[in-house]
């Protein structure tokens, strides 16, 4: 076992871009939450747990992420630097952005739908920006990418399937479910798929870094920036 310092330094140089992507995702989630129109499926689950515990939304987002990481390890989907920072940063940015008066809160139903689609697109683009760095996928995204690799199915089917199950669980826990939730569940995967196709990103072939990669030679040793 040899520690690959060069590989670690290469990945550390990507962290500013990673943090920027997380800010974008955090803004998208905060904007969705501010609409009071029904959350995205994972956020419905977190809100359901908030109703049961009274803890802060962002902190619970981190806690749910940890549970998913533990589950993912059992199906051989391993964490990396991006996974850890995802768990720490996104919930923090959601809470921080929510405290500022920069989010749109239209009352008209039509404009609510437009802003929701905008927020989902922002989240999806932020997700692409950090996944393309290939230094570890966040808990939910790592699970999604892992299942895409295992099944060979498109992201629009895997993401939608996962989120439909999550939505049902969140609903049973008392999470907010509205028209926006349904829209997010059944359009989020399609939006993400469109962005992946637009940018030429293939979730089936992406090689996300694991912590163990810094101690062994592997097929991800020389990633593209």
Alpha helices (runs of H) in the chain, residue ranges in sequence order:
5-12, 15-34, 41-53, 57-74, 81-98, 109-131, 139-151, 155-172, 179-199
Residue 191 and residue 205: Cα distance in Å, rounded?
19
Q: Is the pLDDT of residue 179 over 70?
A: yes
Q: Is the pLDDT of residue 222 over 50?
A: no
Mean pLDDT of 70-94: 86
Which pLDDT score, from 0 to 100, does residue 174 have?
85
Mean pLDDT of 100-110: 91
Do 64 and 45 contact (CB within 8 A), yes or no?
yes
Q: What is the largest CA-CA distance in the chain?
A: 60
Q: Is the pLDDT of residue 169 over 50?
A: yes
Q: Is the pLDDT of residue 221 over 70?
A: no
Do 53 and 194 contact (CB within 8 A), yes or no?
no
* First-last CA distance in the chain: 25
Which pLDDT score, from 0 to 100, does residue 220 have?
59
Q: Is the pLDDT of residue 195 over 90?
A: yes
pLDDT tens per residue across span 112-153: 999 999 999 999 999 999 999 999 988 888 889 989 988 999
Q: Is the pTM of this model over 0.75?
A: yes
CA angle 157, 158, 159 (to 5 degrees): 95
Q: Is the pLDDT of residue 218 over 60?
A: no
**Where residue 223 falls among pLDDT bands split at 50, 70, 90?**
very low
Which pLDDT score, from 0 to 100, does residue 224 have?
45
Q: Dihedral of CA 194/104/93/47: which sign?
A: negative
Do 37 and 179 contact (CB within 8 A), yes or no?
yes
Residue 163 and residue 148: Cα distance in Å, rounded?
14
Looking at per-residue confidence, does 134 or 43 come out higher?
134
Q: Is the pLDDT of residue 187 over 90?
A: yes
As a whole number, the mean pLDDT across the chain is 88
Percentage of residues of the chain with pLDDT beyond 70: 96
Q: Is the pLDDT of residue 84 over 60?
A: yes
Least confident of 5-9, 55-59, 170-174: 55-59
Residue 73 and residue 94: Cα distance in Å, rounded?
26
């Amino acid at each position: 076992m040899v520690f690959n310092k060069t590989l670690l330094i290469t990945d550390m140089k990507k962290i500013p871009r990673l943090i920027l992507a997380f800010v974008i995702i955090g803004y998208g989630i905060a904007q969705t939450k501010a609409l009071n129109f029904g959350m995205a499926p994972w956020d419905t689950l977190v809100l359901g747990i908030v109703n049961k515990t009274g803890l802060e939304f962002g902190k619970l987002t981190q806690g749910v992420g940890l549970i998913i990481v533990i589950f993912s390890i059992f199906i051989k989907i391993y964490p990396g630097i991006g996974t850890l920072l995802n768990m720490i940063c996104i919930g923090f940015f959601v809470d921080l952005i929510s405290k500022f008066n920069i989010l749109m809160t239209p009352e008209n139903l039509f404009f609510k739908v437009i802003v929701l689609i905008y927020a989902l697109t922002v989240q999806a683009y932020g997700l692409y920006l950090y996944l393309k760095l290939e230094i570890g996928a966040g808990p939910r995204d790592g699970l999604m990418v892992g299942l895409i690799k295992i099944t060979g199915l498109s992201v629009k089917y895997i993401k939608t399937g996962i989120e439909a199950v999550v939505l049902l669980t969140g609903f049973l826990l008392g999470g907010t479910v509205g028209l926006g939730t349904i829209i997010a569940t059944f359009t989020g995967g399609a939006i993400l798929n469109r962005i992946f196709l637009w940018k030429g990103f293939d979730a089936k072939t992406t090689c996300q870094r694991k912590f163990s990669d810094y101690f062994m030679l592997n097929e991800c040793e020389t990633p593209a920036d």
